[in-house]
């Protein structure tokens, strides 16, 4: 792949993306249009995140990619390999060792630091899109700070279901101004968006938008006083590492209704197991072996 | 006991190896060469060049071979390659009036200077499977005539002389480049035409067809369809004038649309325009019809609420590389968001169940 520039994109393109990133950081939560390029991977598969990572990476960086919290899901493997080949950067699976983390659908469990950049892959950057399909309209709504429609939607949820029926991509308000889509992370992750020491960058390739949260931004999940936002997860500890504070995936283990819950953040789970924490199923297995 | 799935990397490598084997098919059957695809699958090559926005028949043929004949996949390969190419500059507008036509027809005039030239068309073939093609070895030859040297003027030019057709003003502005700037709406016509040229043939065809069936009907005639080669010229700053850097084959369609006039425009004929690489006439005609439908605002027509009139709907959904990527991404793991939905549905059901129990007790 030596025919390609460092991190694949040419320097002009990277500059164009960096300008969009800087504008995004200057106006937190605002969706900056950018001339997204056609990447050698399909739209919808992380091209926005890949372009933001490419424009952000330096040869000294240590790069981590997760999809659904895991380093070993196929598309995470594919994106990591892409940058190994085109940028030759060091890669890691350890959250704390990484300087840039590209993610799809999760925020790592381990707290992030000021030396880190978290890059989100975003499918639909517009939080109002499913209330108003027209971009020409939603841009107007943002500029006029006209978010009544969103509150009506959340209110209708409550009147219909008794609760806000949004479980992921739960909308937030940034610095008291822009309503922003945090990408399809589970709402469990929403509190981690706020007051985060790391830079958070959001890239939507197909929709040609970049937006950003500077470190320590004020990010509030939309709610009502009598129906406060609640970060929820499966009410269960991890069956492998026993963690009670991590987001869990449900895994079907047999065809008789058997299932277990495991951390979606594979690095977090592995680290805890290495520290000697044992979940119920792993403990049972070790006892059986002893 | 559950063990986390590992080895995504090996799975991917093996999948690619299997794909390569399947691409080749039965090894006892001779392999297709890129030249064979370029010469004998020319219309597929043309489509890939048009929607891939890159005029290079060899690369398009290679992409078709690599994509196992999946044209959208081939277009994707070409687009991804194109993005990496440096930009030297832009050509001066091609002069389609000076085209060396292989085919030129008008549905609006029985005859006109330059004549009606059918060219290599399927139009009047009877669609009967030709089993002779199943046997190899035939090299057909077509009778040859004398090439016409005179220019072939545009049909719409004749209408223009009488002032019967709306004129297109040359703005002199450099058109925006869809591949270098983000799409901004409302889009100028130049940008709309770029998007339509790159747009999926099937999607644009469907929209054009919908206008014919009454969803923003615009009474289109094929004023002219011409296919042939045009010179590509570029201004060289050091020289101070334009020189010819090559030749490309294009299909151009100008539709002539009946128009009764509106609040702002007098009764006259109006136009739609289509221009694509190679012989790709279905696409060129479709494009012209959709272009015309999208012009309702500037012509002071009513918005009928038809899909083909809706600029945002058309432009944001006509690109098959964007569409297929997003559509197919739902194959990727979504278990984190699905899990959050699972919990929500369980919670709502629990709440609904408790409600019912309470009501039953009362």
DSSP symbols for B3-58:
-----HHHHHHHHHHHHHHHHH--TTSPPPPHHHHHHHSHHHHHHHHHHHT---HH
Among candidate residues A29, A46, A49, A69, the one labeled active-site is A29
Domain end point (choices B28, B59, B83)? B83
Count of all residues that appear for chain A in the document:
290
Residue A241 annotated as catalytic:
yes
Per cent of chain A over pLDDT 70 is 99
Instruction: Give the global pTM.
Output: 0.91
- B137 domain-assigned: no
pLDDT digits (tens, 9 = 90+) for A234-284: 889 999 999 999 999 999 988 898 899 999 999 999 999 999 999 988 888
Tell whether B23 and B100 lie within a shared domain.
no
Instruction: Report yes or no on B41 lying in a domain.
Output: yes
DSSP state for residue B151 in the 8-state scheme: -
Cβ contact A77–B8 (<8 Å): yes
Residue A103 scores a pLDDT above 70: yes
User: Which residue does chain B place closest to A42, by CA atoms?
Assistant: B325
Looking at the structure, tell me whether residues B155 and B299 fall in a common domain: yes
A/B interface, count of CB pairs below 8 Å: 151
Cα separation of the two ends of chain B: 46
The sign of the CA dihedral A261, A265, A269, A275 is negative
* Residue closest to A170 by CA, chosen among A146, A142, A138, A194: A194
Distance from CA of B258 to the nearest CA of A (A): 31
Statement to judge: residues B113 and B65 lie in one domain: no
Tell me, yes or no, whether B63 and B163 share the same domain.
Answer: no
What pLDDT shows up at residue B355? 75
pLDDT single digits (tens) A200-222:
999 999 999 999 999 999 999 99
pLDDT at position A287, please?
A: 79
User: Residue B114: CA atoms inside 13 Å, Cβ hemisphere, count?
Assistant: 23
Per-residue model confidence (pLDDT) at position B215: 95
Chain B residues lying within 8 Å of A105, measured CB to CB: 334, 336-337
Q: Which of the residues B339, B354, B355 would you substitute to probe the A interface, choosing the one with the greatest number of A C-beta atoms within 10 Å? A: B339
Residues B164 and B61 both lie in one domain: no
Residue A196 designated active-site:
no
If asked whether residues B62 and B199 sit together in one domain, one would say no
Q: Are A38 and B5 in contact (CB < 8 Å)?
A: no
The beta-carbon neighbor of A105 closest among B11, B337, B342 is B337
In a domain, B112, yes or no: yes
Give one DSSP letter per residue of B251-318, joined into a string: EEEEEEE-----SSS-S-BEEEEEEEESS-HHHHHHHHHHHHHHTTTTTT------GGG-HHHHHHH-
8 A C-beta contact, residue B307 and residue B313: yes
Q: Return the pLDDT at B261.
A: 81
> Residues in chain B with pLDDT < 70?
1-7, 362
Nearest to B12 among A10, A77, A232 (CB): A77
| Assigned fold of A11-221 | Rossmann fold (3.40.50)
Q: What's the confidence (pLDDT) of residue A286?
A: 80
Return the pLDDT at B5: 52
My answer on whether B67 and B108 are in the same domain is no
A162 has catalytic annotation: no
Give me the interface pTM, i.e. the ipTM.
0.88
How far off is chain A from B94, nearest CA to CA, in Å? 26
Contact criterion met (CB < 8 Å) for A81 and B182: no
Confirm whether A269 is a catalytic residue: yes
> Does B180 lie at the interface with A, CB-CB under 8 angstroms?
yes
Q: Which two tokens stand for residue A88?
A: 């030759």
* Chain A residue with the nearest C-alpha to that of B7: A72
More confident residue, B132 or A90: A90
Domain that holds residue B43: 13-83
Listed in order, the ranges of chain A carrying CATH 3.40.50.11310 are 11-221
Domain identity same for B188 and B71:
no
Q: Which of A24, A48, A203, A241 is catalytic?
A: A241
In this structure, are B53 and B105 located in the same domain? no
**What residue of B is the nearest CA neighbor of A284?**
B1
Residue of B nearest to A74 (CA): B8
Per the structure, the count of domains in chain B is: 2
B297 CB within 8 Å of a chain A CB:
no
**Which positions in chain B touch A165 (Cβ < 8 Å)?**
344, 348
Do A206 and B333 count as a contact with CB atoms less than 8 A apart? Answer: no
Q: Is B357 a domain residue? A: no
Which chain A residue's Cα is nearest to B352?
A161
- B354 within domain boundaries: no
Structure tokens, A153: 């939607």
* Least Cα separation, residue A262 to chain B (angstroms): 9
Contacting residues of B for A121, CB less than 8 Å apart = none
Q: Which among B8, B53, B77, B178 is the top mutation candidate for probing chain A, defined by the most A β-carbons within 10 Å of its own β-carbon?
A: B8
Distance from CA of B14 to the nearest CA of A (A): 12
DSSP 3-state percent helix, strand, coil across chain A (nearest 5): 30, 20, 50
Evaluate whether residue B134 is within a structural domain: no
pLDDT exceeding 90 applies to what percent of chain A?
Answer: 86
The CB density around residue A173, as the number of other CB atoms within 10 Å, is: 18
């Amino acid at each position: 792949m030596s025919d390609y520039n460092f991190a694949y994109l040419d320097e002009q393109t990277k500059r164009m993306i960096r300008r969009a990133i800087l504008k995004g950081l200057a106006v937190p939560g605002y969706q900056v249009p950018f001339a997204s390029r056609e990447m050698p991977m399909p739209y919808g598969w992380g091209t926005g995140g890949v372009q933001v990572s490419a424009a952000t990476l330096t040869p000294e960086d240590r790069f981590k990619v997760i999809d659904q919290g895991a380093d070993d899901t196929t598309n995470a493997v594919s994106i990591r390999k892409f940058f190994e080949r085109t940028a030759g950067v060091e890669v890691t699976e350890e959250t704390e060792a990484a300087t840039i983390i590209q993610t799809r659908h999760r925020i790592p469990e381990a707290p992030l630091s000021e030396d880190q950049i978290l890059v989100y892959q975003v499918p639909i950057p517009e939080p109002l899109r499913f209330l108003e399909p027209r971009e020409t309209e939603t841009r107007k709504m943002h500029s006029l700070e006209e978010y009544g429609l969103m509150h009506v939607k959340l209110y209708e949820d409550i009147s219909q279901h008794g609760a806000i029926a949004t479980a992921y991509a739960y909308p937030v308000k940034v610095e008291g101004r822009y309503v922003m889509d945090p990408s399809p992370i589970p709402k469990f992750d929403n509190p981690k968006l706020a007051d985060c020491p790391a830079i958070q960058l959001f890239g939507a390739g197909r929709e040609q938008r970049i937006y950003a949260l500077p470190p320590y931004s004020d990010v509030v999940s939309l709610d009502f006083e009598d129906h406060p936002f609640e970060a929820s997860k499966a009410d269960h500890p991890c069956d492998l590492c026993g963690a009670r504070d991590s987001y869990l995936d449900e895994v079907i283990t047999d065809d008789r209704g058997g299932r277990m819950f495991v951390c979606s953040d594979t690095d977090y789970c592995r680290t805890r197991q290495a520290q000697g924490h044992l979940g119920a199923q792993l403990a049972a297995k070790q006892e059986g072996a002893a | 006991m559950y063990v986390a799935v590992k080895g995504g990397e090996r799975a991917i490598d093996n999948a690619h190896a299997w794909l390569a084997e399947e691409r080749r098919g039965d090894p006892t059957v001779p392999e297709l060469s890129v030249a064979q695809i370029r010469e004998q699958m020319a219309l597929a090559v043309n489509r890939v060049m048009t929607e891939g926005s890159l005029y290079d028949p060899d690369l398009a043929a290679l992409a078709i071979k690599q994509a196992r004949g999946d044209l959208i996949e081939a277009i994707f390969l070409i687009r991804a390659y194109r993005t990496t190419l440096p930009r030297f500059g832009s050509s001066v507008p091609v002069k389609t009036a000076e085209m060396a036509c292989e085919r030129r027809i008008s549905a609006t005039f029985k005859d006109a200077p330059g004549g009606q030239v059918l060219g290599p068309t399927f139009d009047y073939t009877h669609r009967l499977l030709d089993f002779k093609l199943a046997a190899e070895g035939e090299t057909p030859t077509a009778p040859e005539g004398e090439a016409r040297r005179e220019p072939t003027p545009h049909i719409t030019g004749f209408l223009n002389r009488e002032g019967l057709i709306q004129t297109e003003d040359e703005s002199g502005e450099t058109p925006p480049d869809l591949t270098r700037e983000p799409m901004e709406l409302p889009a100028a016509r130049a940008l709309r035409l770029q998007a339509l040229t790159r747009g999926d043939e099937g999607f644009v065809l469907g929209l054009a067809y919908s206008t014919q069936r009454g969803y923003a009907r615009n009474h289109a005639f094929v004023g002219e369809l011409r296919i042939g080669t045009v010179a590509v010229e570029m201004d060289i700053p050091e020289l101070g004038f334009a020189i010819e850097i090559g030749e490309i084959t294009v299909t151009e369609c100008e539709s002539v649309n009946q128009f009764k006039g509106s609040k702002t425009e007098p009764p006259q004929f109006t136009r739609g325009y289509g221009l694509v690489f190679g012989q790709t006439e279905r696409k060129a005609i479709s494009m012209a019809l959709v272009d015309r439908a999208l012009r309702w605002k500037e012509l002071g027509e009513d918005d009928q609420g038809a899909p083909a009139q809706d600029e945002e709907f058309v432009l944001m959904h006509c690109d098959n590389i964007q569409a297929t990527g997003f559509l197919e991404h739902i194959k990727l793991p979504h278990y984190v968001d699905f899990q959050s939905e699972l919990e929500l549905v369980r919670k709502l059901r629990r709440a609904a169940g408790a409600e019912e129990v309470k009501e039953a007790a009362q």
